[in-house]
Chains A and B, each alone.
Chain A
Amino acid sequence: MLFGYAWDTSSNWAFAVSILPILLQGMIVTLEATVLGFFIAAVLGLIFAVLRAVPLRLVSWPTIFIVEFFRDTPLLIQLFFLYFVLPEYGLLLPAFLTGAVALGVQYSAYTSEVYRAGLEAVDRGQGEASRALNLPPAHTFIKIILPQAIPRIIPALGNYLISIMKDVPVLSVVTVVEMLNVAKIIGDRTFQYMIPLTMVGALYLIMTLLASYLVRTLDNRLPTQGIPLK
């Protein structure tokens, strides 16, 4: 019995069918953690990318250090830090939120790199032409540079969305009941691990294929008119 659903161990088939709704409950948590983690990574990464580009070492160097730190330490350490250390300083977040933040922080290091590469891929002459026309710097960034960087950024961000999804099971160590954790609980109680684990693998496959498809569709719909994408 889990989430109000009972399992039926009379046959393999019956078992599989009976635990599917339970696994789907876990899948919702997995998807929620993915979306929230991705959102944090996308926003934080953009902030890091912009701070890094500030021509003031007092700002750019600490940013580079922080990004490097996030990238070069394992997700699990960041997760433990947020989950076990922060509460000592009075910051107590629910497990789910802690997990999503840890994912977001870790992946912000990667997404900031995506933004940076995307922005740098825009020809320097674009900024110069804009300056020569006396367009203000903010206008140049938003109307000239960014629209040319976005079609390069989206596909790479999409890949990280899928990576985040595949990292969500790590959150089970801080008690987040995501899909893999659900499968493990079922296994612990029924002593049947193979079927739930296989099903989780299959569900993951479906999710990642679907996500790839969505990212590709979005990518094809983006207005790339005229933008030379090498």
Chain B
Amino acid sequence: MTDTLVKFDRVTKRFGDFTVLKDLDFEVKKGEKVTIIGPSGSGKSTVLRVLMTLEPINEGVVYVDGRPLWHEEKNGRLVPAGEAHLREMRRSLGMVFQQFNLFPHMTVRRNLIEAPVRVLGLSRKEANKRAEELLAMVGLTDQADKYPQQLSGGQQQRVGIARALAMRPQVLLFDEPTSALDPELVGDVLKVIQQLAEEHDLTMLLVTHEMDFARQISDRVCFFDQGTVCEEGPPEQIFKTPKNQRTREFLHAVLHPNE
């Protein structure tokens, strides 16, 4: 139990009358690399956005490192959390966005040092050193003084990954990190993520449509459908011998799109 880092306990999330997550139970262990796959609209992004505190929940409790994310304990009862609690909880979380969401008016360097300086209280020098290490890691050593728009999409996404890592999160969330990229740029980004997965004990939760990639890096694959985990298991099992009919249909549709 102690090695569970993220836990959704019967979480329900609605947008108006529409229920996106239905009584969702879902866990991620420390250091685990989990990919979420599933049809469009099944709530994959919502799971990540709830974790990143970008989207509040309606029912249930989300735990991160044993502590409720969206609630605070008051007199033995769980009440909705205030901004201070959310700020504290957010320290363990980082996110890489589908559209990168780099700050376009800042250089790559500024993008990487803004939050470490302002939020973590690093000195400019320390933050800069950290930024340069991370840029080297994602293969962008020479690009620090460019603006995001001067980079290719693949390079921008690698900056996005470096920016999230600069905050040293425990859990890194990726929402379709390569979906906005031209096909020839996908490989470089996936390589960086794979390297991260192999070399670090970082916990990773990844939504992706890249099935080969999911198979390679995941400890576990979760197939989402209509706001719940429909089937989950080791990648070999999910991809080779899916038990659920809907999983089979989905995998068939994405792996053999032309049939």
Chain A bound to chain B: yes
List A residues at the B interface (Cβ < 8 Å): 123, 125-126, 128-136, 139, 143-144, 147-148, 223, 225-228
The stretch that binds A, out of B71-79, B94-102, B125-133, B215-223, is B94-102
Question: What residues of B have a CB within 8 angstroms of the CB of A225 in the complex?
Answer: 105, 147
Task: Look across to chain B and name the residue whose beta carbon is closest to the beta carbon of A137.
Answer: B83
Q: A123-B101, A148-B105, A226-B105 are in contact. Are A133 and B54 (CB under 8 A)?
A: no
Which residues 35-63 of B sit at the A interface, judged by CB distance below 8 A?
A: 52-54
For the complex, what is the distance from the CA of A128 to the CA of B53, rounded to whole Å? 9
The stretch that binds A, out of B111-119, B135-143, B225-233, is B111-119
| B149 at the A interface (CB under 8 A) | yes
A142 to chain B: closest CB distance in Å?
11
B136-179, CB under 8 A of A: which get 1 and which 0?
Answer: 00000000000111100000000000011001000000000000
In the complex, the answer to whether B105 meets A135 with C-beta atoms within 8 Å is: no
In the complex, the answer to whether B97 meets A129 with C-beta atoms within 8 Å is: yes
In the complex, the answer to whether A128 meets B119 with C-beta atoms within 8 Å is: no
Add 18 more A-B contacts to A129-B95, A225-B147 (CB < 8 A): A123-B101, A125-B101, A128-B52, A129-B102, A131-B52, A131-B53, A132-B90, A132-B95, A133-B94, A133-B119, A133-B163, A134-B115, A134-B167, A135-B115, A136-B119, A225-B105, A226-B148, A226-B149
Question: What residues of A have a CB within 8 angstroms of the CB of B99 in the complex?
Answer: 123, 125
Task: Look across to chain B and name the residue whose beta carbon is closest to the beta carbon of A147.
Answer: B105
Give the interface SS of chain A, mostly helix, strand, loop or mixed.
helix
A43 to chain B: closest CB distance in Å?
24
In the complex, the answer to whether A128 meets B114 with C-beta atoms within 8 Å is: no
| B34 at the A interface (CB under 8 A) | no
| B87 at the A interface (CB under 8 A) | yes
For the complex, what is the distance from the CA of A123 to the CA of B101, rounded to whole Å? 8
For the complex, what is the distance from the CA of A227 to the CA of B119, rounded to whole Å? 24
A132 to chain B: closest CB distance in Å?
4
A22 to chain B: closest CB distance in Å?
49
A sample of 13 inter-chain contacts (CB < 8 A) reads A123-B99, A129-B97, A130-B103, A131-B53, A132-B93, A132-B94, A133-B115, A133-B119, A134-B115, A136-B119, A223-B105, A226-B106, A226-B148
